[in-house]
Amino acid sequence: GESVGLHLPTLSVQEGDNSIINCAYSNSASDYFIWYKQESGKGPQFIIDIRSNMDKRQGQRVTVLLNKTVKHLSLQIAATQPGDSAVYFCAENNYGQNFVFGPGTRLSVLP
């Protein structure tokens, strides 16, 4: 049956501010990481990826930082907008196997 629900961590930010969402991954052998955005009732949407031979990658308004020493990943969103409100998941991959998803963080953008 359904397991006890986890309470998603929630990050509330003011519109226009920067957001930082953190994720601890589990497998030190993972070599590829993705941040996904999931809106209610929809599938995950790709935001940005990073390979393990990099520690930073920038996209449009988003930056991903990877710290392999402490197995930590972060997603920075600049000038957060109402449309950024969603649940964000990090996912790790080990040489082309399935993605393992983190627990998720709900981002709430305040007007």
Partner 1 sequence: GAVVSQHPSRVICKSGTSVKIECRSLDFQATTMFWYRQFPKQSLMLMATSNEGSKATYEQGVEKDKFLINHASLTLSTLTVTSAHPEDSSFYICSAGIYYEQYFGPGTRLTVT
Residues near partner 1 (CB under 8 A): 1-3, 5-8, 32, 36, 41-45, 89, 93, 96, 98-104
Closer of 80 and 102 to partner 1 (Cβ): 102
- Least gap, CB of 69 to partner 1 (angstroms): 23
Give Dmax (Cα) for the chain: 41
Distance CA 26, CA 42 (A): 26
Whichever of 33 and 80 has its CB closer to partner 1, that residue is 33
* Rounded Cα distance, 65 and 25, in Å: 13
Q: How far is the CB of 100 from partner 1 (least distance, A)?
A: 7
Strands 105-110 and 10-14 come out as parallel
